[in-house]
Structure 1
Amino acid sequence: MYHTAFGVYGILFQGNCLAVIKKKAGPYQNRYDLPGGSMEAGELLEDTLCREFKEETGMTVTSYHQLGTINFLYPWRYKETTMNNHICVFYEIRAIVGKLEKNVHQFTGQDSLGAVFFPIEQLNEQNASPLVIKACEVFKQEAFTAKSQRLMKWDVLEAPSYE
């Protein structure tokens, strides 16, 4: 049985670094992940992007461009399900106000411990979510390829891969 998750995510580069969060819950816990997440009732995609980005990084998005939507299918045990279908809408963040917060406000539902700009060449499948790997691909190819992925194996990390 499949669990379906839908989220909106922002990709922000600073030089050869990517803005990533330290994920504390879900299938990407203990890995670097993109800022973003689930829509709340009545939100537009762009509202979700801006709210989630602010909550998880401390920065306010002022300009963005939608890159596209893909999904990731992979094994993950959640409640009665054994597979996850993660549908992701990606946005390129073009301008922000404020600075990245290494520690962000904690509240019920917050799954970010804080954010960092992390060198793209140090992000990999052992320390990052598939979303981050996709963002690294966007950086290297200078383009977004709307190709979904099926992962045969996925491990939820028991210990943090980040500092």
Structure 2
Amino acid sequence: MAKYHRAFGVYGIIGDAEQLVVTKKFGGPYTNRYDLPGGSLGDGEPLSEAIVREIHEETGLTVTTAEQLGTTSFRYPWQFETWAFNQHIAVFYRITAVQGQVAATVPDCLGQDSHGAVKLPLSQLDISNASPLVLAAKAYLQQGHFDPTDTTYATWEVLTAPVY
């Protein structure tokens, strides 16, 4: 059986049927793509606190209302250290109220992998420029329901130049 790297994180959907807040990613398999704000938990950190912290670090926004939608995973080939595949387990939150403005650039901090955030039309987000998390968020906003079905990609390209 293939050896999978496993990543786990919380991610926020901030948007509507027309647009979505995304980050400009510079680390991991989604390097140089648009990604959802979010990420890994700190040691012992509750999910509900991690989503608030991650969104603030990556977008500058302060979350005031968040609802957990569900969990899914994305699997794809990715050469990383000793692993040939990645399984990204993601807990999605619908963020319905925030304070502040989307930050085009954000301060560097431990574990920071965002160059800042932007609000983009859903029509501009697709597999060529966005992470699987963004595509799941787009589907949620367009269809009105969260699909917890795991997704497997036969191939995955880590981009060598930014799309943003």
Q: TM-score, normalised by structure 1?
A: 0.97
Cα distance, 1:126 vs. partner? 0.3
The alignment-based identity, stated in percent, is 49
Q: Is the counterpart of residue 34 in structure 1 residue 36 in structure 2?
A: yes
Structure 1: state its 5+ residue gaps: none
The 10-residue stretch of structure 1 (57-66 or 99-108) with the greater mean CA deviation from structure 2: 99-108
Q: Output the CA distance in 1 between the equivalents of 2:153 and 2:10.
A: 20
Helix, strand or coil for the counterpart of 1:18?
strand
Opposite residue 62 of structure 1, the aligned amino acid is T
Q: Output the CA distance in 2 between the equivalents of 1:107 and 1:14.
A: 29
Q: Output the CA distance in 2 between the equivalents of 1:46 and 1:19.
A: 19
Q: Is the counterpart of residue 149 in structure 1 residue 160 in structure 2?
A: no
Task: Judge conservation of contact 1:14–1:117 (CA < 8 Å) in 2.
Answer: no
Q: Output the CA distance in 1 between the equivalents of 2:153 and 2:84.
A: 13
Residues 98-126 of structure 1, C-alpha deviations (whole Å, 9 max, x = no match): 11100000123200000000100110000
Cα distance, 1:146 vs. partner? 1.0
**CA-atom RMSD, angstroms?**
0.8
Helix, strand or coil for the counterpart of 2:29?
coil
Instruction: Count matched residues.
Output: 162
Helix, strand or coil for the counterpart of 2:30?
coil
Divergent runs of 4+, >4 A: none
Equivalence for 1:44: 46
Equivalence for 1:66: 68
Structure 2: state its 5+ residue gaps: none
Opposite residue 81 of structure 2, the aligned amino acid is K
Equivalence for 1:92: 94
Opposite residue 84 of structure 1, the aligned amino acid is N
Task: Judge conservation of contact 1:58–1:104 (CA < 8 Å) in 2.
Answer: yes
Q: Output the CA distance in 2 between the equivalents of 1:39 and 1:104.
A: 19
Q: Output the CA distance in 2 between the equivalents of 1:99 and 1:126.
A: 27
Cα distance, 1:14 vs. partner? 4.8
Q: TM-score, normalised by structure 2?
A: 0.97
Task: Judge conservation of contact 2:17–2:142 (CA < 8 Å) in 1.
Answer: no
Equivalence for 1:135: 137
